Structure 1
Amino acid sequence: MKSCLIVDDSKTVRMVAKRILEELSFTTREARDGQEALRLCESEMPDAILLDWNMPVKSGIDFLRELRALNGITQPVVIFCTTENGITHIHEAIAAGADEYIMKPFDSGIVESKFTQVGLL
């Protein structure tokens, strides 16, 4: 079974994403910010990360840059899931190593489609 780390400071978003991903047969873990997510990745790297942009402590983009800078690890698929929908944010995320980008609000169809596009389903 594939695993996904859900990184978002909103408990509601994490709950909705968890329900969708578990219906798609993923095991899930959750983090409230990029710093917590980095610690979880260091202990056990997931297959995928669903990542918010704006969070306290460490933003999603800062987390992604640090994650992609780690050497000697199998890198997960990273899908941003955020309200930041400007083209500059999308380009910045892709340049930093994001594999896909979902705009909030999202639903199960969108999540399934993006996870299929990146080869996880």
Structure 2
Amino acid sequence: MSDESGAHDIRVGPFLIDVPRSIGYFGGVGVALALGLVDPPLAVFIGAAPFLVMLTHRSLPVPIRFVGEALEGAARPIGGENDGYVQLEDEQADRERARALAATVRRGEATGPSGRAQAAGRP
């Protein structure tokens, strides 16, 4: 996300897009291509890297995830360790975190000095 509130993120179906980072990433690839710094096949691969990483999403079948992990390994030098700029949102993980937080609050483990629930498991 671009900031804590996600003010610059947009949702398109199951995709969550960080607009400023996406513009920078894909715009940079376009500028490098336009200036002749990279050849078109390499620019396509670099531009496709965030989408190749999405093939590792846990909701996909194992054979597709295997191929996705192999492609992610090939693309790792391009994207480094950063989060993807276009991500497939993991709604199941969000629901699991919410259930775990609700269970913790019910047990009274996540209350602060004011008695209000504290956010647990969030960066």
TM-score bin, normalised by smaller chain: under 0.3
TM-score w.r.t. length of structure 1 = 0.27
Decide which structure has greater strand share.
1
Question: Relative to total residues, which structure has the larger helix share, 1 or 2?
Answer: 2
Structure 2 length normalisation: TM-score? 0.26
